[in-house]
Structure 1
Amino acid sequence: MLIRPAFLTDAGAISAVAVQTFALACPAGTPQIELQKYIYEYLTPSSFAAALGEPNCDVQVLTDSEIIIGFTLVTRAPETLRLPQADGIPELTRCYVLPMYHGTGVAQMLLSATLAGYRGPVRLTVSDQNSRAIHFYIRNGFAIVGDTSFQCGDDIHRDLVMVRP
């Protein structure tokens, strides 16, 4: 396993991981059509290529035998959430690992390596129904500081806002 900064040529492989894992981060009842709308708008190779060219984004990939099996994306200048504890700090926007690797410890390895690059606080949002992810982030020092909404196609979800000091 290797964790490294993503290259522009990784955009397609990163998109493939995102497409395979995004639905797992959403509430179970999210309509398939809404998941597809979100994927087609935000998780395409061109979307990740744009992020890789953005100076305020940091994308790390996790590889197994040179195949990308996970990635993180941190936005250093995210949108305001109107939560004093969460505004003005970097946001871990994505932390995805292929389902076949869940429970193996590689997500922990990827998250630890990503967070090691940030000295101050970091925030994230997570579906309030994703208890597995919530517990994972709590184990890694994140605490719930509020909530926000997340639009997946035409579906609106409630996300928890978590901050690691």
Structure 2
Amino acid sequence: MGQLSTATLRTATPADASSLAALALEVWLSTYIRHGINAHFADFALAHFTPERFKSWIEDPDHRLIVSQNRDGIDGFIHIGRNSPDPVGGHIRTELTSLYIQPRHQGRGLGKALLDAALDQADHPVWLAVNCENTKARAFYKTQGFSKLGETAFRIGDKSYPNDVLMRQPL
């Protein structure tokens, strides 16, 4: 796991909300915005990744956020939501909402460590949606035992983007 030993995994607290919002903005923009930022994407990102939204998730018992913290701050997080039916059949009710690692900290085992920590006690299937063009994430989830359940579309305003819906049975 390389430098993972310098990171601590812990449950997010309300004091983490602004750090999580900033990290999510950084990761989302660096992952999906490859040709310049326009208002369509900027408006979505700034409305979605807010400290208030993260604080509400942290305080909601149906959501679990675990952070990876190094000596300087948070470098990654995972967000699991219960009572969130999958978009394919609606039978799987636990969603891996997001797994975000700062780009400069990727490749050190943080994603696997966060995923393992979040799913450690899972006794039921988990689903997630991943952009069809995000080959790096799709390959990661495949190595972690996820398989394709179906397809959905991620919508921003009047535009949609194809996503694969993946699922993993408990180990």
Q: Same fold (TM over 0.5)?
A: yes
Q: 1:155 to 1:30 in 2, by over 3 A?
A: farther
Q: Which residue of 1 aligns with 2:134?
A: 130
RMSD: 1.9
Could you tell me which residue of structure 1 aligns to residue 81 of structure 2? 75
Q: Is the 8 A contact 1:27 1:129 kept in 2?
A: no
Separation in structure 2 between the aligned mates of residue 143 and residue 116 of structure 1, nearest angstrom: 18
- Residue number in structure 1 paired with 2:68: 62
Within the alignment, does 1:108 sit opposite 2:117 as a pair?
Answer: no
Matches within 5 A, 1:1-165: 1-26=7-32, 28=34, 32-65=38-71, 67-81=73-87, 83-84=88-89, 87-165=91-169
Deviations 1:10-62 (A, max 9, x none): 00011111010012443746853222122122111111011112121111111
8 Å Cα contact 2:79-2:97 kept in structure 1 = yes
Q: Take 2:36 and 2:159, find their aligned partners in 1: how far apart are those partners? A: 7
Separation (CA, whole Å) in 1 of partners of 2:124 and 2:97: 16
- Highest CA radius of gyration, 1 or 2? 2
1:69 and 1:97 in contact (8 A); partners too: yes
Q: What TM-score, normalized by structure 2, do the two folds share?
A: 0.87
Tell me how many residue pairs correspond in the alignment: 163
Task: Render the CA deviation track for 1:78-100: whole Å, top value 9, x for unaligned.
Answer: 1451x23x633200001000000
Check conservation: 2:76, 2:101, Cα contact below 8 A. yes
Mean alpha-carbon deviation: is it higher for 129-138 or for 99-108?
99-108
Q: How far, CA to CA, are the matches of 1:87 and 1:24 in structure 2?
A: 32
Contact 2:78–2:99 under 8 Å retained in 1: yes
- Label 1:65 to 1:153 Cα distance change in 2 as closer, same or farther (>3 A): farther
Contact preservation (8 Å) 1:146, 1:160: yes
Cross-structure match for 2:4: none
Instruction: Specify whether residues 29 and 121 from structure 1 end up closer, same or farther in structure 2 by C-alpha distance, changes over 3 A only.
Output: farther
